[in-house]
Amino acid sequence: MRSQVVIIGGGPSGLLLGQLLHRKGIDAVVLERKTRDYVLGRIRAGVLETGFVNLMREAGVAERMDAESIVHDGTVIAYGEDQFRVDFVEATGESVLVYGQTELTRDLYDAREACGAETLFNVDNVVINGADSDAPYVTFTHEGTEKRIDCDFIAGCDGFHGVSRQTIPLTVRKEYEKVYPFGWLGLLSDTPPVHEELIYSNSERGFALCSQRSWTRSRYYIQCSLSDHAEDWSDQMFWDELRRRLPAETAETLVTGPSIEKSIAPLRSFVTEPMRWGRLFLCGDAAHIVPPTGAKGLNTAASDIHYLYHGLMQFYEEKDSEGIDRYSEKALARIWKAERFSWNTTMMLHRFPDMNGFDLKMQRADLEFLRDNHDAQKVFATNYVGLPF
């Protein structure tokens, strides 16, 4: 087999890259380790920056997103019984969209099938060969048969545990990591959201987030111990704890119901450098992880796709390698800023086990400065809606 680009990983970043390339006449094969249903069963974030939204439109897969998404012009930040709103539109002139990652991925799969682009599921034993040469190829097992695809470039969109990052020699790559001493327990329910916008809450019992997927489906999170297990938390225990972490005025309006899904996610900040090795390019979670506090995980993947897509277009259409040569440099410059915002927001809103009285006073000062200072709100909003590509 031969393809101009092999995309390893059939999540939203790999699918988005494939769709963008297809519309420019660049051939790409997507290799996915799991089934389509498994990928669509993942419960993930749904806050989309302006840059991601524009990429979906450029890829021709924005019709349902534009029709069904919810526009958020701001967000609410609570601490104790106090709360304030950061107005994104007033501060930056831009908004974010709330549209579930599952639905976004479904749209991309449907578009890929409609145009007849090739996606191979249940792929095992993927090995990247010759990435540091001019003739890379990928070998793998599919439906019991060993196969090989020769290509020009390889896009590693296969996540934190995938083969792509591990292919880059340790003598070449350097990794940076911060692991946080807590996780997020998330609950999905078919209940109306407690507020029309997201609420981030810092309480003495720990962090909480009130989010949504639609006007009838809500996603809530509470900070929990890394030793907890989702099955240890009954629905009633979750709802009771969530109420305790919200201002009383908000807690009283909370509509509860049975959980559709409940899970615990650990939090970490992680970056690997470089994001390119020869003809191999890392994208999304394969190269970096952010704590979900800043709603940047999916959006940082989109920025990678933007830089790689334009670099590949420049290579094929103009015979110019400048875009792919500078891919890692451009992607990392934006990634580190997103990492900073996610880290800073996590530090401001969570309770850490080793916090003393001074730390708590500093955290409250951060919150009150953000509440009272227009320039601070503009900085927060600028980062939240997404830095320019």
Residues with catalytic roles? 72, 200, 292, 296, 384
Measure the CA–CA gap between 337 and 383, rounded to whole angstroms: 8
Query: Are the C-beta atoms of residues 105 and 12 closer than 8 Å to each other?
Result: yes
Query: Are the C-beta atoms of residues 234 and 204 closer than 8 Å to each other?
Result: no
Q: Which residues contact 53 (CB under 8 A, 6 or more apart)?
A: 62, 65, 97
Measure the CA–CA gap between 6 and 154, rounded to whole angstroms: 5
319: left (phi over 0), alpha (psi -120 to 50) or beta: left
75: left (phi over 0), alpha (psi -120 to 50) or beta: beta
Query: Phi/psi at 170 (nearest 5 deg)?
Result: -65, -20
Beta strands in 99-136 (DSSP E): 119-120, 123-129
H or E element in which residue 360 lies: helix 357-372
Query: Are the C-beta atoms of residues 12 and 104 closer than 8 Å to each other?
Result: yes
Measure the CA–CA gap between 304 and 167, rounded to whole angstroms: 19
What is the DSSP-derived secondary structure letter of residue 226?
A: T
